[in-house]
Structure 1
Amino acid sequence: AKGIVWCASHNNLALLMSQAGPSVTIEPVSYWVAALPKLEQEQVKQQEPEILEEWDPEFGDRLTQLVFIGTDLDEETITKELDQCLLTEYE
């Protein structure tokens, strides 16, 4: 699995997660545009208007996008396990 991760404990950082076999790495790759000061956000939006295609009114560009590569992957189980990682409304 590999992709960009939004983690509540590092709310301002976009994290790169990479997993191969038992080896997992998670490292910061950049700040979310939504974490930047408003003036900088507007500059980025003007320079990269495609960012607005997935911009959320509450969370901005924060998201998680993972790709799983393999054979006979159980999509339902993977989805259920990942759903367990989501924060509740209370959290």
Structure 2
Amino acid sequence: KWTKNIIRCKGLVYFRDEQETCYVFEQAGKQMNLTNAGQWYATMPADELKQLLENNPKVKAQWDDKYGDRMQKLVFIGQHLDREAITKGLDSCLED
């Protein structure tokens, strides 16, 4: 549950039971939307992935040995936001 100070939130997420799928999460006011954005690069066949990483230094620079290109990346817009509280709340949702 968001605080009333959060006006908008948008970003990329994935879920433990659907780790192959990238979702775009959007929230504005009381409206929330979750859209399937396709599969992460990490799900590509190994030979295609190797070529992708060789040809895309930005993707390679952000690549994680365990998670590949999977990420939880959200941007919050609001007034007087408590970054520490938001981070703590989101971190409590993460599983390894």
Identical amino acids, percent of aligned pairs: 36
Runs of 4+ residues deviating >3 angstroms = none
AA of the residue aligned to 2:73: Q
* One-letter amino acid matched to 1:27: T
- 1:20 maps to what in 2? 28
Is 1:81 the equivalent of 2:72? Answer: no
Point out the structure with the larger strand share.
2
CA deviations on 1:9-58 (whole Å, 9 max, x unpaired) are 21001110000111111111121111111122123223322101111111
CA distance in 2, matches of 1:47, 1:8: 29
TM-score (norm 2): 0.83
Q: Does the residue aligned with 1:72 lie in a helix, a strand or coil?
A: coil
Amino acid of the residue matched to residue 3 of structure 1? G
Supply the AA of the counterpart residue of 1:83: D
1:60-71 equivalences in 2 (<5 Å): 60-71=68-79
1:36 aligned to 2:44?
Answer: yes
Q: Output the CA distance in 1 between the equivalents of 2:50 and 2:38.
A: 17
Question: Which fold has the larger relative contact order, with Cα–Cα distance below 8 Å and residues 6 or more apart in sequence?
Answer: 2
The residue that corresponds to 1:3 in the other structure is: 11
- Normalising by structure 1, we get a TM-score of 0.87
**Runs of 5+ consecutive residues of structure 2 not aligned to the other structure:** 1-8
Which residue, 80, 87, 90 being the options, matches 1:72?
80
Count of equivalent residues: 88
User: Pairwise CA RMSD of aligned residues?
Assistant: 1.3
Q: Which residue of 2 aligns with 1:52?
A: 60
Which 5+ residue runs of structure 1 have no aligned equivalent?
none
